[in-house]
Amino acid sequence: MNWKNNVINIENILSLLSISNKDGDGIDIDSGFKKLLDYTIQIKNTNGTAYFVGNGASASMASHISADIGKNAKIKTEVFTDLSLITAIANDISYKNVFSEPLSWKIDIGDMIVAISSSGNSPNVLEAVKTASLKKAFIVTLSAMEPDNPLRKMGNLNFYVPADSYGYAEVSHTAILHYWVDILLRVIKSE
């Protein structure tokens, strides 16, 4: 493989982005981003909070996008990356609950959670989404790998790319998240 082929592979994967709702119905790409944008503006206008969860590189993306949206869009955000909190919950309860436990204390009806998992199989991300669903939050998922991964069926908006490696999944998810931030900031600046 050479660099040009790598770039072409990423372009092909991103061109196959699909968005679906909780029922698995497909949503046009631009309509899906519009729904995400509209709900994000609603969160801003109602002083709600956008929560972000992920593991490894997905945790880094969650933290990065949380910071971008908080700093640039002035939306309340939270990402669960505090080492003391993570290790206390992992040790005293279980690693599966490192996101769902603090979410259960914090998330309110109408808040948003953005759950990122390349495989769509991360138990702690799936538990976080279950908790958010019980709290009637708006759920956005980003996944890749297998098209029938469980995370892809759990969100109000499910962003899926058919990437077969973590590198391609993570690059694709980063592009999707930055596109969301970019269109959000354009709308906010035009108001």
145: left (phi over 0), alpha (psi -120 to 50) or beta: left
Written as one letter, the residue type at 151 is: L
Residues near 168 by Cβ (< 8 Å), separated by ≥ 6? 9, 10, 13, 144, 161
| pLDDT band at residue 6 under the 50/70/90 scheme | very high
The β-bridge partners of 52 are 79, 114
Please write the tens of the pLDDT for every residue from 117-167: 999 999 999 999 999 999 999 999 999 999 999 999 999 999 999 999 999
| pLDDT band at residue 191 under the 50/70/90 scheme | confident
| pLDDT at 41 > cutoff 90 | yes
Domain boundaries, the chain: 3-190
Q: Which is nearest to 127 in space by CA: 118, 160, 117?
A: 117
Per-residue model confidence (pLDDT) at position 92: 97
Please write the tens of the pLDDT for every residue from 100-109: 999 999 999 9
Give the fold, CATH level 3, of 3-190.
Answer: Rossmann fold (3.40.50)
Question: DSSP label at 132?
Answer: H
CA distance 80 to 53: 7
What does residue 55 show for φ and ψ, rounded to 5 degrees? -115, 150
Q: Which is nearest to 9 in space by CA: 180, 186, 164, 184?
A: 164
Per-residue model confidence (pLDDT) at position 146: 97
